[in-house]
């Protein structure tokens, strides 16, 4: 039975309460427009369930009527997973399911609901003298459910792992409305298929994550943070090895940035001052998260690097403000590119040792394809994950620049394939990379994914057309 929009809205109001349903286009805008301004479809409605039981009723109803639902967190995703593709979906914003259910500091975990904002999760951990380490630039809006559904990475993966590695289990409403109960505080639990891990990174295509058990770590007593001039990504790689050798897992961040990224931020007055000491084509921002009694490890690493003639200039943050300036500069790289005009992006990874070669080959091919293009490769060098982004040539028409992107995408992804890398390191597939995934993923893996999707969601109501094309899911 198909329902008209008006009936849909009436029934949604009956299930969830009128205050929790938005259907006017003007009200839906904040939930439909997304960071990259690339996906423009409207939605039937935006709903905000207030309880897990209401969510279950909603999903059961949608399954009966074969109405597509999109689980949405803070709407910060970069690949359009959290916004409509078809125009007839109902966006289910999870923000009101945001309770902290349990904190077990001694046991090293906490159970929180999907709608909890990532920064608030950090705060809960800190109040208990613990650390939830996963952090991303959009931490003030991103929600735990979205972080897990996209298996987000960020700047601490080097030492602590990505979202998947930080999750002990989830609770989820499945496409038939049943509640999967996988929450636990266990480090070891070897009881069959890892279903929680299947839901993490599924981008809402297998159901709605409603709560998660997250790992907590002892809170570091202090941080040593440095901004280091490196002559090339190759030198950056050697510095990474040196720091890992000397500091082991205390090295928690190792981020690479080109000078261009700092210049953009100064130009658009996004930072009060340059965090670096002097000009260099590249910089590394490195951080060590240390426990009591471990002091000056960064200083010793840098002395060693100076002694080996690996580096010529570096600065260690001497105040909290200085450290914050360094982090702001790193985290605003993406936003500064948006202010500079259009940018063509690739969230890619290669084996860490191949990052310098990736940057060299990628820049060369881009400059050949689009003269004047301004490469801005930056990011999580310690994880082999580079945001291989390119800003439009100065003064170029942004629309024409974006229209010329395909040969560049093809060339970058060809290099990635050649190096055994990944077409999506941390942002996921969403709607942006569905075709690319189909072209590049192992065919057997794609078939397995399609079968899992069909088994759990035969009516294809959970985020249809994301990760897998609609024909593949049926
Ligand atoms: C980051 O690391 C984000 O800053 C955004 O993942 C990357 O805009 C981008 O390409
Ligand atoms: Zn990133």
Q: What's 160's domain CATH number?
A: 3.30.465.10
**How far does the centroid of ligand 1 lie from the alpha carbon of residue 187, in Å?**
31
Same domain for 377 and 309?
Answer: no
Decide: 253 in ligand 1 pocket, CB within 6 A: no
The confidence band for 338, taking pLDDT boundaries of 50, 70 and 90, is very high
Cα separation, 289 vs 221, in Å, equals 8
Sign for the CA dihedral angle at 296, 301, 302, 307 comes to positive
Index of the ligand 1 atom closest to the CA of residue 334 = 8
The CATH number linked to 390 is 3.30.70.2740
Q: For ligand 1, is residue 344 a contact (CB within 6 Å)?
A: no
To test the ligand 1 pocket, which listed residue (427, 428, 430, 432) has its Cβ within 8 A of the most ligand atoms?
Answer: 427
The answer to whether position 182 is within a domain reads yes
* Domain of residue 261, residue span: 222-331
Ligand 1 within 6 A of CB of 377:
no
Look at residues 187, 218, 249 and tell me which one is the last residue of a structural domain. Answer: 218
Q: Which contacts (CB < 8 Å, 24+ apart) does range 307-313 have? A: 308/242, 310/235, 310/238, 310/239, 310/242, 311/228, 311/229, 311/230, 311/235, 311/239, 312/229, 312/231, 313/228, 313/229, 313/276, 313/277, 313/278, 313/280
pLDDT band at 40 (very low <50, low <70, confident <90, very high): confident
Give kind and range of the element (H or E) at residue 224: strand 222-230
List the residue whose alpha carbon is closest to atom 9 of ligand 1: 334
Give a yes or no: residue 433 inside a domain.
no
Residue 278 phi, psi dihedral angles, 5° rounding? -160, 170
| Residue 466 is assigned to a structural domain of this protein | no
Which ligand is in closest contact with the Cα of 388?
Answer: 1
**Is the C-beta atom of 374 inside 6 A of ligand 1?**
no
Among 64, 93, 122, give the residue marking a domain's end: 93
Calculate what percentage of the chain has a pLDDT beyond 90: 96
Over residues 267-288, the pLDDT tens digits come to 999 999 999 989 999 999 999 9
Would residue 464 count as lying in a domain? no
Residues 114, 191 within the same domain: yes
Longest CA–CA span in the chain (Å) reads 74
The helix, strand and coil proportions of the chain, stated in percent and rounded to the nearest 5, come to 40, 20, 40
Ligand number nearest CA of 349 is 2
Q: Indicate the pLDDT class of residue 474, thresholds 50, 70 and 90.
A: low
Distances (CA, A) of 11 to 14, 177, 232, 238, 469: 5, 17, 60, 61, 29
| 379 C-beta closer than 6 A to ligand 1 | yes
Q: How confident is the model at residue 111 (pLDDT cuts 50, 70, 90)?
A: very high
Please work out whether the CB of residue 387 comes within 6 Å of at least one atom of ligand 1: yes
The structural domain count of the chain equals 4
The ligand 1 atom nearest the CA atom of 389: 10
Cα 261 from Cα 337, distance rounded (Å): 8
Of the candidates 335, 381, 344, the residue with the CA atom closest to the CA atom of residue 359: 381
**What's phi and psi for 258, nearest 5 deg?**
-85, 155
Phi, psi of 75 (to 5 degrees): 60, 45
208 shares its domain with 119: yes
Q: Name the closest-CA residue to atom 10, ligand 1.
A: 387
98: Cβ–Cβ under 8 A, 6 or more apart, which residues?
112, 113, 114, 115, 116, 117, 120, 143
Give the position, in ligand 1's atom list, of the atom nearest the Cα of 154.
Answer: 2
Tell me the per-residue pLDDT of 394-416, one tens digit each, with 9 for 90 and over.
999 999 999 999 999 999 999 99
Q: Which helix (H) or strand (E) holds 255?
A: strand 251-258
As a residue count, the chain comes to 474
């Amino acid at each position: 039975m198909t329902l008209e929009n008006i009936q849909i809205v009436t029934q949604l109001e009956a299930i969830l309460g009128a205050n929790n349903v938005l259907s006017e286009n003007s009200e839906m805008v904040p939930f439909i427009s997304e960071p990259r301004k690339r996906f423009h479809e409207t939605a039937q409605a935006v709903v905000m369930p207030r309880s897990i039981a209401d969510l279950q009723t909603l999903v059961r109803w949608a399954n009966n009527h074969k109405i597509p639902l999109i689980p949405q967190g803070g709407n910060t995703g970069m690949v359009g997973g959290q916004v409509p593709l078809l125009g007839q979906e109902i966006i289910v914003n999870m923000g009101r399911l945001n309770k902290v259910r349990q904190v077990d500091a001694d046991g090293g975990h906490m159970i929180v609901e999907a709608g909890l904002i990532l920064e608030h999760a950090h705060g809960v951990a800190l109040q208990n003298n613990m650390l939830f380490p996963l952090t991303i630039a959009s931490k003030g809006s991103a929600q735990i459910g979205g972080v897990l559904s996209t298996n987000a990475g960020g700047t601490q993966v080097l030492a602590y792992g990505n979202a998947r590695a930080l999750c002990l289990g989830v609770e989820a409403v499945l496409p038939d409305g049943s509640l999967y109960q996988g929450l636990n505080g266990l480090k070891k639990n070897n009881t069959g298929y890892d279903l929680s891990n299947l839901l993490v990174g599924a981008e809402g295509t297998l159901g709605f994550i409603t709560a998660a058990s997250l790992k907590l770590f002892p809170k570091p007593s202090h941080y040593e943070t440095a901004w280091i001039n490196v002559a090339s990504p190759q030198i950056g790689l050697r510095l990474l090895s040196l720091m890992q050798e000397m500091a082991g897992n205390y090295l928690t961040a190792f981020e690479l940035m080109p000078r261009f990224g700092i210049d953009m931020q100064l130009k658009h007055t996004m930072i009060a001052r340059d965090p670096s000491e002097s000009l260099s084509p590249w910089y590394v921002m490195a951080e060590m998260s240390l426990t009591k009694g471990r002091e000056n490890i960064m200083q010793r690493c840098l002395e060693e690097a100076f002694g080996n003639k690996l580096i010529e200039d570096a600065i260690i943050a001497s105040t909290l403000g200085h450290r914050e300036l360094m982090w702001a500069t790193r985290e605003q790289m993406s936003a500064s590119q948006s202010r500079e005009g259009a940018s063509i992006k690739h969230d890619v990874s290669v084996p860490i040792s191949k990052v310098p070669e990736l940057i060299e080959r990628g820049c060369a091919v881009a400059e050949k394809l689009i003269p004047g293009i301004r490469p801005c490769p930056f990011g999580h060098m310690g994880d082999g994950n580079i945001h291989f982004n390119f800003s439009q040539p100065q003064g170029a028409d942004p629309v024409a620049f974006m229209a010329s992107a395909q040969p560049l995408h093809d060339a970058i992804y060809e290099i990635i394939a050649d190096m055994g890398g990944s077409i999506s390191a941390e942002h996921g597939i969403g709607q942006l990379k569905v075709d690319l995934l189909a072209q590049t993923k192992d065919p057997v893996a794609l078939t397995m994914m399609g079968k899992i999707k069909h088994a759990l969601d035969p009516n294809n109501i959970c985020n249809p057309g994301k990760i897998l094309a609609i024909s593949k899911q049926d």
